[in-house]
Structure 1
Amino acid sequence: MSSFVVALDVGGTSMKGGLVTDAGEIVLTDRRATPREKGSAAVIEAIRSFIDDLAIAGGGTPAGVGLAVPGLVTSDTAVYSANIGWRDVPAPDFVPLDVPVMLGHDVRTGGLAESVLGAGREVSDFLFLPIGTGIAGAVILSGEPYGGTAGWSGEIGHIPVFPDGETCACGQIGCLETYASASAVSRRYSTRAAQPATAEQVAALTASGDPVAAEVWGTAVEALSLALATYTLLLDPSAIVLGGGLSEAGALLADPLADRLQERLTFREAPPLRSAALGIHAGMLGAALLGWRAAGAPDAGATWSIDVLKSPPVA
């Protein structure tokens, strides 16, 4: 068996790829743009070219390939992605090599990495919640991502938290994502203050006492507490692992969120909030785990060191 797999985390804007050994060492990383404006066929061809170039750089044929992709996905088919536009693409169509391949949903694959290697390593059941441009979660049950009957599990961003609130892009009213995603925080502040600001800037303004920023930030925290209380009461997770760009605000988000969540859960303890450990590595490392599983190593990652965090950063 070859000593490495090709791991690729495919996003709507960029693709992060690497070679990962059976010992969990990241020996090479690279990043390329996702040419989605050229159509799904161009994206598939770009993925094939990226995989081929990574394999060549590794000096041999990989043991397998793992791909984290957005949208509805099974282990062997990319069923549908609204962002990229493909439908029912078999896993082998992404790979120019005759090697085993496994697909995974992008957020659930990141959750798998956090489960096996990161912040969820010592618990069996948790919610991985990356808060970025949008909000989706990975439901981790007994250490594995749960996809649901048709692959829709984890769409916590579309839980209605304010039934009389704003219309979400999905068509529903008052969705969590409409108030608490990074893009929503930026949009809602920019509208109220009549000046543009990123979510990171809104966080800084909140910390400095800006009243408009504080109102927008407080609403985001309130929305998150409502959604997470519902999740907690349904599934009783051991922990909630926060990731994504908004979580980089640290205590400014985590402390009031923990307080509001506990206030809502009047008769029980709230699960602890943890910061994701793997950052931008999560999707690619999860894809590496899929690649090794495809290659016939289902226990890959069990002995990998958390020192993967000290591996070369993605460019």
Structure 2
Amino acid sequence: MSSFVVALDVGGTSMKGGLVTRSGEIIHTDRRATPRDRGPAAVVATIRSFIDDLATAGDGTPTGVGLAVPGLVTADVALYSANIGWRDVPATDFVPLDVPVMLGHDVRTGGLAESVLGAGRELSDFLFLPIGTGIAGAVILHGEPYGGSAGWGGEIGHIPVFPEGEPCACGQIGCLETYASASAVARRYSARATSSAAPALTDTVPTASPTASSPAIAAHLATSPAPASPVTVPTASPAPVTAEQVAALTASGDPLAMEIWGEAVEALSLALATYTLLLDPSAIVLGGGLAEAGPLLSVPLAERLGKRLAFRDAPPLRQAALGMSAGMLGAALLGWRAAGFADAGANWSPDVLKSPRVA
């Protein structure tokens, strides 16, 4: 009988769970919806039920449980989550079993997995930057995620990059997330594409043409094959586009898409230059949906970041290795740590990347 832990990554939309052995083998995975529309108590109850079902799928009793959850969190208490609405939920309330349990912040737990198992495996200090619906960051110092004095460490998505720019949902003005998240790229493209008179750019955002101000994008376009199928440019239709579609339009040379994409890259370069000068990371590991654009994002971003750092080299940009499995694998590391195995993951084979993933 193989010993295993239950690992659960709790998101605002869905939960990804699995069973992971002491050697790092993923022996079972599953996914469930997060019923946040029914309130925090329903989410806690669903987590308890999901953990019970995951444990039952294994051979015997789990050695421990690790949970990655959003919001402010300690190892023992989920203090607060704006997305879910809970406050001060003890770790034991999530688990219907009498086994050790450890909580972790969702993004920092993903960063822990990238540090121990993924793109930061041989690095001691780096930034894990998932760019998805929002933008978060996990500051990895000496191989461990750093949460700051009160758990707010890593909120790079709310660095004001254009102080006179657009309002952010957080209440600030000109946040990175407002320009460079996947949802922002889609929203800003749709707004300009559906407007009969697209607004002129203000001084808060570069006004040069996207090709001229982004030679790396132009170079990428010059060497990129044409899209496999035509990309339809939205007209006055209210139907929203996705960030993936904006990326495809950028790759096809669409001027408006290149403009929006260039502004996102500019915002990222500003925030990452500040981060680099403060903490001198060995690398910046890009994850999340927008990073799936690959060189279309990383090449111009590396170029602009390098130009912003006049007296030092920019840290290299790396693609995250674990994808959507990072949170669940990080939760597995927490589960083994809760059970007393502080070195969990140290001897796990890179073949863990080939293990079954949650679809």
Interval of TM-score (by shorter of Structure 1 and Structure 2): over 0.9
Displacement of 1:27 in angstroms is 0.3
Match status 1:252 vs 2:296: yes
Contact 1:70 1:106 in 2 (8 A): yes
Distance 2:3 2:13 in 1: 30
Query: 2:259 corresponds to which residue?
Result: 215
Q: Alpha-carbon deviations, 1:126-162, whole Å to 9, x = none? A: 0000000000100000000001000000000000000
Distance 2:126 2:64 in 1: 28
Of structures 1 and 2, the larger Rg is shown by 2
Query: 1:42 corresponds to which residue?
Result: 42
The more displaced of 192-201 and 110-119 is 192-201
Distance 1:18 1:137 in 2: 24
Displacement of 1:61 in angstroms is 0.9
Displacement of 1:209 in angstroms is 0.8
Contact 1:239 1:272 in 2 (8 A): yes
Distance 1:43 1:171 in 2: 27
Match status 1:231 vs 2:254: no
Distance 1:209 1:192 in 2: 17
Displacement of 1:89 in angstroms is 0.3
Distance 2:13 2:163 in 1: 32
Aligned residue for 2:89, secondary structure, equals strand
Query: 2:123 corresponds to which residue?
Result: 123
Distance 2:35 2:87 in 1: 17
Query: 2:317 corresponds to which residue?
Result: 273
Distance 1:271 1:310 in 2: 28
Displacement of 1:2 in angstroms is 6.5
Displacement of 1:309 in angstroms is 1.2
Aligned residue for 2:57, secondary structure, equals helix
Contact 1:162 1:173 in 2 (8 A): yes
Point out 4+ residue stretches in structure 1 off by more than 2 angstroms.
none
Query: 2:166 corresponds to which residue?
Result: 166
Query: 2:141 corresponds to which residue?
Result: 141
Displacement of 1:313 in angstroms is 2.0
Aligned residue for 1:88, secondary structure, equals strand
- Matching of residues 22-37 of structure 1 within 5 Å: 22-37=22-37
Aligned residue for 1:202, secondary structure, equals helix
Tell me the number of residue pairs that the alignment of Structure 1 and Structure 2 aligns.
315
Displacement of 1:45 in angstroms is 0.4
Match status 1:242 vs 2:286: yes
What's the TM-score once normalised by structure 1's chain length? 0.99
Report the residue type matching 1:97 in the other structure.
Answer: L
Report the residue type matching 1:81 in the other structure.
Answer: S
CA RMSD of aligned residues (A): 0.8
Distance 1:159 1:306 in 2: 34
Q: Alpha-carbon deviations, 1:216-244, whole Å to 9, x = none? A: 00000000000000000000000000000
- Matching of residues 1-315 of structure 1 within 5 Å: 3-194=3-194, 195=234, 196-315=240-359
Distance 1:173 1:54 in 2: 43
